[in-house]
Structure 1
């Protein structure tokens, strides 16, 4: 199974992902087919990732297991063509439409509109402060999501587990 190691911080050590892939595959998230791709990323406190989309290769479902620390995953409305107008005055980054608390050992599954329409990213932060007006919509399922909590980020490893369709053979890539 292809595994990539990338992300803002280089990874030291070895990650055995097979048991996680098997458990996610047992959930039948990929149309009854097993997962066949794992991306391993490590994030140190204060590191994040810009809002982005994963693109059609992994559609319609992507799953992520968070290990180590928690993080806040921000979901953004897509930018509109006028947003890229070079004549427009500089402005602050867009605000997330919502944020989800990803606790250690949690599984996040994105599919449908959350996958096809929204961008996702993680703000570069060392602490996530929660108050009654900023609790994430999944707070009821997260023991650490309490009003007034200051959640200090540690090192987080994410395992993004997906099903990648096999559409090209090596011979086709090499012209054979």
Structure 2
């Protein structure tokens, strides 16, 4: 699978245009686009997210999330309905051809309060080393593809502040006024759009026959 976070503000934006946002040295499969959507689009997206029915939220220890499109498992995913406001976002991502001609079919919406994140915990005796970090700004697009997505784990450190230093992969694209400073986190909402293979639909009416 590949994934993309957030949406496009320009429907003519293509994979060719995306090339100039490729992060060098990141296996050629990581792209970071700052200011990918504008303030109005961000407000509309957040309004739809927070207008979703309360049962749609799942509360975890370190964040809460919404799952749209179904629940992926090792055996595949049974498709579930996706609201129109998300389908519009998914179509604009599909227009980039990030998924190799396949259509996106799954969306995760994660909300992180300051100090929350996703820690990569040691589940085996294998030592896990942090290779690189990237600073994600509001309204930005992050595209993760191919080897970088398939072979490496990602996490979000559970802290309330971030140091902006030259070790960040996207250092060159960051605003000069924040470089070499410590910035305080606010609430973060991410929209992760993916293509999940091996999906199937269930005919509800057929399950109700006697």
TM-score calculated relative to the size of structure 1: 0.61
Q: How big is the shift at 1:151?
A: 1.7
Equivalents in 2 of 1:30, 1:80: separation in Å? 30
Q: How big is the shift at 1:5?
A: 4.4
1:1-176 superposed matches below 5 A: 5-6=57-58, 8-10=62-64, 16-51=85-120, 82-83=125-126, 94-132=128-166, 134=167, 136-143=168-175, 146-170=178-202
User: In structure 1, the residue corresponding to 2:172 is in which secondary structure?
Assistant: helix
Equivalents in 2 of 1:130, 1:35: separation in Å? 33
Bigger fraction of residues in helix: 2
* CA gap 1:107/1:131 in 2 versus in 1, 3 angstroms: closer
The 4+ residue runs of structure 1 with deviation greater than 6 A are none
* CA gap 1:145/1:121 in 2 versus in 1, 3 angstroms: farther
User: In structure 2, the residue corresponding to 1:131 is in which secondary structure?
Assistant: coil
Equivalents in 2 of 1:100, 1:144: separation in Å? 16
Counterpart position of 2:71: none
- The Cα offsets for residues 25-61 of structure 1, whole Å up to 9 and x where unpaired, read as 1101112222111111100111011228xxxxxxxxx
The answer to whether the 8 Å contact 1:139/1:145 transfers is: no
User: In structure 1, the residue corresponding to 2:126 is in which secondary structure?
Assistant: helix
Return 5+ residue gaps in structure 1 as ranges: 53-78, 85-93
Return 5+ residue gaps in structure 2 as ranges: 1-51, 67-82
User: In structure 1, the residue corresponding to 2:133 is in which secondary structure?
Assistant: strand
The answer to whether the 8 Å contact 1:35/1:161 transfers is: yes
Counterpart position of 1:73: none
The answer to whether the 8 Å contact 2:164/2:179 transfers is: yes
User: In structure 2, the residue corresponding to 1:98 is in which secondary structure?
Assistant: coil
Corresponding pairs, count: 133
CA RMSD of aligned residues (A): 3.5
Bigger fraction of residues in strand: 1
